[in-house]
Amino acid sequence: METPHAVVHYAEVGLKGGNRAFFERVLAQNILQRVERLGGKGRVERLSGRFLVHLDTPWAPPAWEEALSPVFGIAHFAPVYLVPPDMEAIRAVILENLPEEPTRTFRITASRDDKSFPLTSPEIQRELGAAVQARTGWPVRLKGAELEIGVEILRNRAVVYLGRMPGPGGLPVGVSGKVVLLLSGGIDSPVAGYFALKRGCRVIPVHFHSRPFGNWMGSESRAREMVRLLGRYGMEPYFYVVPIGKQQREITVQAPVAYRVILYRRLMMRVATALARREGAKAIFTGESLGQVASQTLESLTVVEEAAGLPVLRPLIGLDKTEITALAERIGTYALSLMPGDDCCQFLMPRRVVTHPRMEETLRAEEAVEMDRLVQEALDGATRVEV
């Protein structure tokens, strides 16, 4: 079926009390932006606890799914028909648009915003269910039905849908402020970015690579494709690229071998903090998972975070690699992480890495490499890349 209308239900947004109107407004804006990105035009009508989306032209269900399934804040949605609030009109539109393929079970779900409608919700469900059964012979199943047919009675119209689609949940992107994401191009950091978006953050990726050494062009291309893909979920359409190959090489000359990786990461934290403040961001997100590699022990995370002037948030901290990989496959970033490109964290990697660094030793090593100068040089080389 094609229809220019869809109903959008939200969950967490409805719990926001006095701030609910703000959350609803941002969600409506995000829906329209996503629709316009796919070539549609329309408007969003606010109802109690849900929206009606109206487009200038009809869309088929796959187009509605492509538009609305990645919009954070949506619990579920469905393309709908708008008909007069009359049982004959409602029955007719349902019977005319039943799926052609056999359906194992179905149910009718009805609600009334207009309490003056002559039938109660259970009466509507029984009457329409009997009509569908008489036409098809399909059995009714109240829980776990394969096809849910929904009817919402409004004051001057009825909303009818046949089957609904899940949204991603979470909060609308933009309600929680800006953050910076350390986007390495590996498996973990894009998933961390996804979770930052899901909690309503506007996410600005920062990608470090080892230019002028190694396959830095592949690394940047991989990051660009990840930013483009995550734009589907609301990520900002640009990212910062920061070459630090020369700074890393200088650290290898001046710093103790075991502390090189710690200093690389402290360098990146300082640069990310400066870029975050330039953008008005309030925190830094990373894809770190506790104990996953030697540089992600509690001691290492502590001494690296000390270099950041902002909160460092790690949504993957308790997940293992198998869990993170499954998430990356689900959101579509896993295949991109396999693209060729050298990770800056692997450039000039020493054979021995300290797993329990001490803060005093770290600061002493940092003094030897003139960290403030290296940070400024890295910032001077940073560029903003539009996607």
Domain of 300, CATH number, reads 3.40.50.620
> Looking at residues 113-134, what average pLDDT do you find?
95
Do 338 and 225 contact (CB within 8 A), yes or no? no
Q: Are residues 61 and 206 in the same domain?
A: no
Q: Are residues 145 and 250 in the same domain?
A: no
Q: Per the domain annotation, does 227 fall within a domain?
A: yes
Q: How far is CA 303 from CA 10, 33, 298, 307, in A?
A: 41, 41, 9, 7
Task: State pLDDT tens for residues 218-277.
Answer: 788 999 999 999 999 999 999 999 999 999 899 988 888 889 889 999 999 999 999 999
pTM > 0.95: yes or no: no
Amino acid at 324: I
Share of the chain above pLDDT 90, in %: 79
Q: Per the domain annotation, does 60 fall within a domain?
A: yes
Q: Per the domain annotation, does 173 fall within a domain?
A: no
Q: Are residues 137 and 204 in the same domain?
A: no
Q: Which residue has the tokens 């001057």?
A: 156
Q: Are residues 59 and 206 in the same domain?
A: no
Q: Per the domain annotation, does 171 fall within a domain?
A: no
Q: Are residues 240 and 381 in the same domain?
A: yes
Residue ending a domain, among 143, 166, 189, is 166
Q: Does the pLDDT at position 344 exceed 60?
A: no
Q: What is the mean pLDDT of the chain?
A: 92
Q: Which pLDDT belongs to residue 306? A: 95
Q: Are residues 75 and 213 in the same domain?
A: no
Within 306-356, residue ranges assigned H as helices are: 321-331, 334-337
Q: Are residues 314 and 273 in the same domain?
A: yes
Find the CATH number of the domain harbouring 100: 3.30.2130.30
- Structure tokens that stand for 224 in this block: 């660009």
Q: Are residues 254 and 287 in the same domain?
A: yes
Q: Are residues 12 and 129 in the same domain?
A: yes
Q: 61 is in which domain, residue-wise?
A: 3-166
How many whole angstroms separate alpha carbon 274 and alpha carbon 268? Answer: 10
Within 97-215, residue ranges assigned H as helices are: 121-136, 188-198
Q: Which residue has the tokens 């909690």?
A: 199
Residue ending a domain, among 112, 131, 166, is 166
Per-position DSSP letters for 280-307, written without gaps between them: T---EE----TTSSGGGSHHHHHHHHTT
Q: Does the pLDDT at position 349 exceed 60?
A: no
Q: Are residues 129 and 189 in the same domain?
A: no
Q: Per the domain annotation, does 152 fall within a domain?
A: yes
Query: Apex CA 196: angle with CA 195 and CA 201, to 5°?
Result: 145
Task: State pLDDT tens for residues 66-111.
Answer: 999 999 999 999 999 999 999 999 999 999 999 988 888 999 999 9
Q: Per the domain annotation, does 329 fall within a domain?
A: yes
- Structure tokens that stand for 167 in this block: 């949204």
Counting the structural domains of the chain, the total is: 2
Q: Per the domain annotation, does 172 fall within a domain?
A: no
Q: Are residues 120 and 41 in the same domain?
A: yes
Q: Which pLDDT belongs to residue 102? A: 83
The least confident of 118-132, 136-150, 337-351 is: 337-351
Q: Are residues 145 and 194 in the same domain?
A: no
Residue ending a domain, among 139, 166, 193, is 166
Those residues whose C-beta lies under 8 Å from the C-beta of residue 324, and which sit 6 or more positions away, are 187, 188, 191, 287, 289, 316
Q: Per the domain annotation, does 365 fall within a domain?
A: yes
Q: How far is CA 214 from CA 226, 283, 333, 342, in A?
A: 20, 30, 23, 6
